[in-house]
Amino acid sequence: EPEVTQTPSHQVTQMGQEVILRCVPISNHLYFYWYRQILGQKVEFLVSFYNNEISEKSEIFDDQFSVERPDGSNFTLKIRSTKLEDSAMYFCASSEYRAGTEAFFGQGTRLTVV
Amino acid sequence: GESVGLHLPTLSVQEGDNSIINCAYSNSASDYFIWYKQESGKGPQFIIDIRSNMDKRQGQRVTVLLNKTVKHLSLQIAATQPGDSAVYFCAEMHGGGADGLTFGKGTHLIIQP
Task: Find the CB nearest A105 among B44, B49, B105.
Answer: B44
Whole-angstrom distance, CA of residue B95 vs CA of residue B10: 30
Whole-angstrom distance, CA of residue B93 vs CA of residue A110: 25
pLDDT at residue B16 tops 80: yes
The confidence score (pLDDT) of residue B2 equals 38
Test A100 with B32 for CB contact under 8 angstroms. yes
pLDDT at residue A40 tops 90: no
Whole-angstrom distance, CA of residue B11 vs CA of residue B112: 10
Question: Which chain B residue's Cα is nearest to A38?
Answer: B105
The confidence score (pLDDT) of residue B96 equals 60
**Cβ neighbours for A10, distance < 8 A, ≥ 6 positions apart:** A109, A110, A112
Test A100 with B93 for CB contact under 8 angstroms. yes
Mean pLDDT along residues B48-74:
95
> Which helix H or strand E contains A29, and what residues bound it?
none
- With 0-12 / 13-18 / 19 or more C-beta atoms within 10 angstroms meaning exposed / middle / buried, residue A70 is exposed
The confidence score (pLDDT) of residue B95 equals 64
Counted domains in chain A: 1
The confidence score (pLDDT) of residue B21 equals 95
Helical segments of B1-113, H only: none
Phi, psi of B83 (to 5 degrees): -70, -10
Mean pLDDT along residues B28-50:
91
Establish how many alpha carbons lie within 13 A of residue A50's alpha carbon, considering only the half-sphere containing its beta carbon.
Answer: 17
Mean pLDDT for chain A overall:
93
Task: Name which of A111, A90, A87, A95 is nearest A44 in CA terms.
Answer: A90
Helix %, strand %, coil % of chain B (to 5)? 5, 55, 40
pLDDT digits (tens, 9 = 90+) for A80-92: 999 999 999 999 9
Test A108 with B43 for CB contact under 8 angstroms. yes
Is domain B4-112 classified as CATH 2.60.40.10? yes
A2 confidence band (pLDDT: 50, 70, 90): confident
pLDDT at residue B1 tops 50: no
Which of B45, B50, B99 should one mutate to test binding to chain A, selecting the residue with the greatest count of A CBs within 10 A?
B99
Phi, psi of B111 (to 5 degrees): -100, 115
Residues of chain B contacting A88 with CB distance shorter than 8 Å = none
Mean pLDDT along residues B20-44:
90
State the smallest CA–CA distance between residue B15 and chain A in angstroms: 25
User: Measured in whole angstroms, how far is the alpha carbon of residue B25 from the centre of its chain?
Assistant: 11
Mean pLDDT along residues B34-51:
92
Provide the CATH number for the domain around residue A48: 2.60.40.10
Whole-angstrom distance, CA of residue A46 vs CA of residue A75: 14
Residues of chain B contacting A108 with CB distance shorter than 8 Å = 42-43
Which of A3, A5, A45 should one mutate to test binding to chain B, selecting the residue with the greatest count of B CBs within 10 A?
A45
Residues of chain A contacting B41 with CB distance shorter than 8 Å = 107
Range(s) of the domain holding residue A68: 5-113
Mean pLDDT along residues B11-35:
92
pLDDT digits (tens, 9 = 90+) for B75-113: 999 999 999 999 999 999 876 666 788 898 889 999 999
Test B103 with A43 for CB contact under 8 angstroms. yes
